[in-house]
Structure 1
Amino acid sequence: MSHHVVVLERDSLKARVRRPRFEHTYEEYAHTPPDQIVARLRFATVAIINKVQLSNEILAQLPKLKMVAISATGYNGIDIAACRNRGIAVANIRNYAIHTVPEHVFALVLALRRNLVAYRYEIEQGAWQKSEQFCLFTHHISELSGSTMGIIGEGAIGQGTAAIARGFGMRVLFAYHDSSKKKEVRLTPLDQVMAESDVLSLHCPLTPATQNLIGIEELRKMKRSALLINTARGGLVNEAALVQALDEGLIAGAGFDVLTEEPPVNGNPLLDLRRPNFILTPHVAWASDQAMQVLADQLIDNIEAWVAGKPQNLVT
């Protein structure tokens, strides 16, 4: 069987994507608006997507489609049940960001715990230049050693984050929550993790069970000196509640790499925060050059394995 492979979001990958090693035809688009999905996939047997939404309604119009290869780990934009019912295989990417995301987590943590943004601003305003001594003591600096890191999500990235935390001399607690399935690590009740963590880092998928997992009541359970880090998915944290928590001093700060809508074309309350104890980055924790190439290679590996009758990384 000759396959027709269609790439809908090529610009979402800054890596070399090799052509599959089987007989096929190939189409590639830099990006695809919603009203072009059906037209571009009408003759596809294999679709390569990232954030494109594939609903049951859309899938019903694509009778030739046999496989969806996601160039990401998350698949909440795809109707998985509809794919199963139609015999469409769906494969995602696993364990490609086990270094880059944890490193980004600690870039945020260190910047916040050592108040780097605040000190940089003061230098720009000339405060150091006017100081009567050799240094400034205008903001608190806190060491990580001896503090507690809570992690929600005990997968490969959560484990990678824990390894770095232990390297800093931190105590690590993995939180039990409704979507926890793996038991390879000891899990601690979420309320206890919320109360004891000096840094809480999120590494779980966005599901109906984890939507708004962290709201104002959960934020009230945290230490006022604690940090909240989200490099996982927008929607895990109620963003309005986070703004309230920062305004009221319920937590010491937050570092986010994700928003509920990306790109945030309709605005977002976190975009308007201008404060040294909040850092927002544009969903780039995963995007080191090395991780992107691992992702691109695994993406094609998944397709080739499925065509060879030995599927891997299936979510259907």
Structure 2
Amino acid sequence: MTSICVLDGHTLNPGDLDWSVLAAFGDVEVHERTPAGHILARAAGKQVLLTNKTPLDADTLAALPELKYIGVLATGTNVVDMDAARRLGIAVTNVPGYGPDAVAQNAFAHVLHHISRVWEHHQAVIRGAWSAQPDFCFTLGRLESLSGMTLGLVGFGDIARHMAAIGAAFGMKLLVTSRKKPDDLPAGAEFVPLQTLFARADVLSLHCPLTAETAMMVNRENLALMKQGALIINTARGGLVDEAALADALHQGRIRAAVDVLSSEPPSPDNPLLHAPNISITPHNAWATVKARQNLLDIALANLDAFLRGEKQNRVD
């Protein structure tokens, strides 16, 4: 019987999904979280480990001779020392493409937060501001229309493609930049250099991986290119942004920002974006709709099933 341990299941399943399906594959232990000092004790003797953010470094892997398989409950695999896994013959899988629509939905929720200002007006109404008005309506400031605005996408993977479709439904124009020109750009979309995209976009959304080339791409130089009042969105990776530079631009009132990711998570209390104006922040939960999490669990189970049948699915080792 295969021995299975879920090291940190709470984020994927805070209680609304069903872990019991894992029992079809063997004996299962599920831990909501595993502190660093408990990893070895919980993983000892297990043939299968499932992890989201609990790190499995080279020393840990070397101390687990019975371990045959690691299923990462996410797309990124930086929590596993991949070189050590290959050297030790441990299979590693990830879960790609489980919720691009969820992330795009979150990104546009941020867009509408800034463009339509629904929450600000709701709060004002509850405080009595509407009841006190001499007219039938009022606004707290400029309300904008997305129709005719330019949406700029950095990267053009699955999430960006959903963003493009939503933007088109709102009547937005589309600019795209990526490492190479996509073959399936939507009709009317322009493929432009990064700096051109920064200069022309009214809404600029990041959808690229964090690499040596993309790190800190949102820097003082590129921020200076942006239009007055432009909105920059980051649902990709916190390291794409120079947070001090972005905070300065926000304090100056030149641009607006919306982020679902930060350079360190949870953020330190002195992160400059936590105290900046003109920004909306969500706690890295764009991916976490019930539908997306169920998709993730289903793919993770299919990955494990394929491994146990001697097949390869979403192998990254």
Please report the TM-score for the alignment, with normalisation by the length of structure 1: 0.89
Structure 2: which 5+ runs fail to align?
Answer: 186-190
CA offset at residue 20 of structure 1?
5.6
Q: Distance in 1 between matches of 2:217 and 2:88?
A: 32
Alignment of 1:229 onto 2:233: yes
CA offset at residue 279 of structure 1?
1.1
Residue of structure 2 in register with 1:254 after alignment: 257
Q: Residue type of the partner of 1:309? A: G
Q: Distance in 2 between matches of 1:121 and 1:211?
A: 37
Alignment of 1:294 onto 2:298: no
Q: Distance in 1 between matches of 2:292 and 2:298?
A: 10
Moved over 4 A (4+): none
Q: Distance in 1 between matches of 2:246 and 2:2?
A: 47
Residue of structure 2 in register with 1:153 after alignment: 155
Taking a change above 3 Å as real, the CA distance of residues 209 and 16 of structure 1, as seen in their structure-2 partners, is farther
Please report the TM-score for the alignment, with normalisation by the length of structure 2: 0.89
Alignment of 1:72-221 (within 5 A): 72-176=74-178, 180=179, 183-186=182-185, 187-221=191-225
Alignment of 1:263 onto 2:260: no
Of 282-291 and 124-133, more deviation after overlay is shown by: 124-133
CA offset at residue 152 of structure 1?
1.8
Q: Is the 8 A contact 1:118 1:139 kept in 2?
A: no
CA offset at residue 156 of structure 1?
1.1
CA offset at residue 164 of structure 1?
0.9
Give aligned-pair identity as a percent: 41
Q: Deviations over 1:106-159 (max 9, x none)?
A: 111011012234434433554333323222243111111111111122211111
Q: Distance in 1 between matches of 2:60 and 2:249?
A: 40
Q: Residue type of the partner of 1:164? A: I
Q: Distance in 2 between matches of 1:207 and 1:97?
A: 22
Q: Distance in 2 between matches of 1:62 and 1:302?
A: 21
Residue of structure 2 in register with 1:241 after alignment: 245
Structure number with the bigger relative contact order (C-alpha 8 A, sep ≥ 6) is 1
Taking a change above 3 Å as real, the CA distance of residues 222 and 80 of structure 1, as seen in their structure-2 partners, is farther
Q: Residue type of the partner of 1:13? A: L
Q: How many residues align?
A: 308
Q: Residue type of the partner of 2:11? A: S
Q: Is the 8 A contact 2:104 2:163 kept in 1?
A: yes
Structure 1: which 5+ runs fail to align?
Answer: none
Q: Distance in 1 between matches of 2:61 and 2:269?
A: 27
Q: Distance in 2 between matches of 1:227 and 1:102?
A: 15
Q: Deviations over 1:177-197 (max 9, x none)?
A: xxx368444543211111111
Taking a change above 3 Å as real, the CA distance of residues 188 and 310 of structure 1, as seen in their structure-2 partners, is farther
RMSD over equivalenced CA pairs, Å? 2.1
